[in-house]
């Protein structure tokens, strides 16, 4: 297990589409464990392999703040098989420093994935879990939550972020749940 570096916008690797995992191997399990360690250390409630520079369709999540480590999701090749309703959630992301925004997504989703034992999982989700699933699967498709807000807001953030990078300003401590 190792703590991995989380890529930050505007790293172009965050915009790449991840490939399905063909075979679940020891390396897959090790990657998942390292991703969990990295997610908890960040701290965040979700992390996609794309965010650590690995283009495989793997996501880890633990959205239960009150009971950390109790409900851990390790999802390989997750697919949204059903979605309905709509909600707006204030999102933050470990790869998008110093910024949160309201994003509209489906209110309820059903996701099918494999776990690390190659067993099929079916998840029925609403609220933060549904938001996190959609946010993480977006990462696997090379999309960030800022791709789902208005162009004006995105451009303002992009400009502020470039300025931060130029001046070497360190990001402030996140005050929000990071997914």
Q: Is residue 101 a contact residue for Ni ion (CB under 5 A)?
A: no
Q: Number of residues interacting with Ni ion: please give it, by CB under 5 A.
A: 1
Residue number with the smallest Cβ distance to Ni ion: 93
Q: Does 76 bind Ni ion (CB under 5 A)?
A: no
The answer to whether 5 is a known catalytic residue is: no
140 near Ni ion (CB under 5 A): no
Binding residues among 21-60 for Ni ion as defined by CB under 5 A: none
Minimum separation from the CB atom of position 142 to Ni ion (A)? 12
Q: Measured from the CB of residue 23, what is the shortest distance to Ni ion in angstroms?
A: 26
**Nearest approach, Cβ of residue 144 and Ni ion (Å):** 7
CB of 9 to Ni ion, least distance (A): 10
* DSSP string over the chain: ----PPP-TT-GGGGSPPBPPSS--HHHHHHHHHHHHHHHHTT-SEEEGGGGT--B-EEEE---SSSTTTS-EEEEEEEEEEEE--EEEEEEETTEEEEEEEEEE-SEEEEEEE-TTS-EEEEEEEHHHHHHHHHHHHHHTT--GGGGS-HHHHHHHHHHHHHHHHHTPPPPPP-S-B-
Q: Does 93 bind Ni ion (CB under 5 A)?
A: yes
d(CA 67, CA 154): 34
**129 scored as a contact of Ni ion (CB under 5 A):** no
Q: Which of residues 24 and 62 has its CB atom nearest to Ni ion in the complex?
A: 62
Instruction: By CB under 5 A, name the binding residues for Ni ion.
Output: 93
Q: Which residues are catalytic?
A: 136
């Amino acid at each position: 297990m190792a703590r991995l570096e989380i890529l930050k916008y505007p790293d172009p690797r965050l915009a790449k589409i991840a490939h399905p995992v063909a075979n679940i191997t020891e390396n897959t399990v090790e990657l998942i464990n390292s991703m969990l360690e990295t997610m908890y250390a960040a701290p965040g409630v979700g992390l996609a392999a794309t965010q650590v520079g690995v283009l495989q369709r793997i996501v880890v999540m633990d959205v239960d703040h009150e009971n950390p480590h109790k409900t851990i999701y390790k999802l390989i090749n997750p697919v949204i098989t059903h979605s309905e309703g709509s909600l707006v959630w204030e999102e933050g992301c470990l790869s998008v420093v110093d910024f949160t925004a309201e994003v509209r997504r489906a209110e309820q989703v059903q996701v099918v994935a494999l776990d690390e034992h190659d067993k099929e999982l079916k998840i029925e989700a609403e609220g933060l879990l549904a938001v996190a699933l959609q946010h993480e699967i977006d990462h696997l498709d090379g999309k960030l939550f800022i791709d789902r807000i208005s162009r004006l807001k995105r451009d303002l953030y992009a400009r502020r972020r470039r300025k931060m990078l130029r001046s070497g300003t360190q990001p402030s401590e996140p005050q929000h749940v990071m997914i």
